[in-house]
Amino acid sequence: MSNQSKNISPLAASAYAPGRVELLGNHTDYNEGVVLGAAIDRGLTVRGRKRDDGMISIESSTMGHVEIARSALRPLEENRWANYALGVANELIALSIPVEGFSAEVSGDLAAGCGLSSSAAFELATALFLLRLYGRNLGSLEIAKACQRAEHRFAGVRSGLLDQVTSLFGRADHTVFFDCRSEEVRAIPFPQGLALIIAESGKKRELTKGEYNARRRETRAAADALQVSALRDVTSEALTSQRGLPDLLRRRATHVVEENERVLRALELLVVGDGPGFGGLMNASHESSRKNFENSTPELDLLVSIAQQLPGVLGARLTGGGFGGATITLCQRSAAVNIAAELSERYTHESGIIPRVVISRIANGAH
């Protein structure tokens, strides 16, 4: 779709975008790798209307209220939560979308900092809301990339495209495969009889504090040391044979390289409905996050450890960037209710934290 094609521009509009779970492919997206995710049945809605005074107003019942002149659009030092939406407005303006003043209200059941990509959901819902409000269209990947740029430039997080693509291309009862180099997006059926349980650790994750950006620098340094354009171009066998790579960079590279291999293996397992095999890949992924990438936390490790001991569980791992947030557990659907209750009870007993544990449905993407 071209941004030159004009629709009737309404005075008011709304848009919704879901959160996502990353099933496999941890920190592979900005290394030109492959990822596997799914949109979930929790998300954010942005609704509002045009203003004729050149002001942009964004309101959230949980985060507060921000107002700024369109002519003074910039990242805010206070109320940084609004930068995700302001950044999107800025990127759409750069794409010649005639965004002027507007008022918007954000609502939904996707909390910030829980590792389910509320930031990407906020960005996408804002983008679709503004495109509808100003009667313009963009291609889906162009929208995703605009939201990614907003996160880079206004929120200060050098994120990959995993979150935006999964939220935008999500399809009910399907996983989303994304090749971050070729930009292929594919929906793959999720095996019937299996369920996903999301468990929030109670430790919020704040990627702008620098750990995420540090991992991006480290994996870039590893690729440079290996003389490849990206870690996508390295196999685990080739990495094992390398001598002289500093231990830190070797561990960071090992995580990304083996994650890519796990995603490609998972595609084969999904085709034949091999849940136990898929779960084994999830377990291996978390262990690599813990040891090689060091983006887990004691709380995430405890949730994964408890889940892996419960009957009917096939695998568990952290989901998303890590450094707090949530875990995702793959299990037999028939046992999901009991597993969720036991996981919550045992985690509360051992950590003193009451987690939010939900059986999640794989849902449709942003609209």
The residues assigned a catalytic role are 163
Query: What is the C-alpha separation between 47 and 104, in angstroms, rounded?
Result: 5
Of 338, 241, 325, 236, nearest to 288 by C-alpha is 236
Query: What is the C-alpha separation between 363 and 367, in angstroms, rounded?
Result: 12
Residue 278, both tokens: 């898929």
Of 162, 50, 27, nearest to 103 by C-alpha is 50
Classify residue 227 as exposed, middle or buried by CB count within 10 Å of its CB (0-12, 13-18, 19+). exposed
Q: Which residues contact 37 (CB under 8 A, 6 or more apart)?
A: 20, 21, 22, 23, 25, 162, 165, 166, 175, 176, 178
- What count of other Cβ atoms lies within 10 Å of the Cβ of residue 363? 20
Distances, alpha carbon 311 to alpha carbons 27, 35, 273, 336, 359, in Å: 30, 28, 19, 10, 16
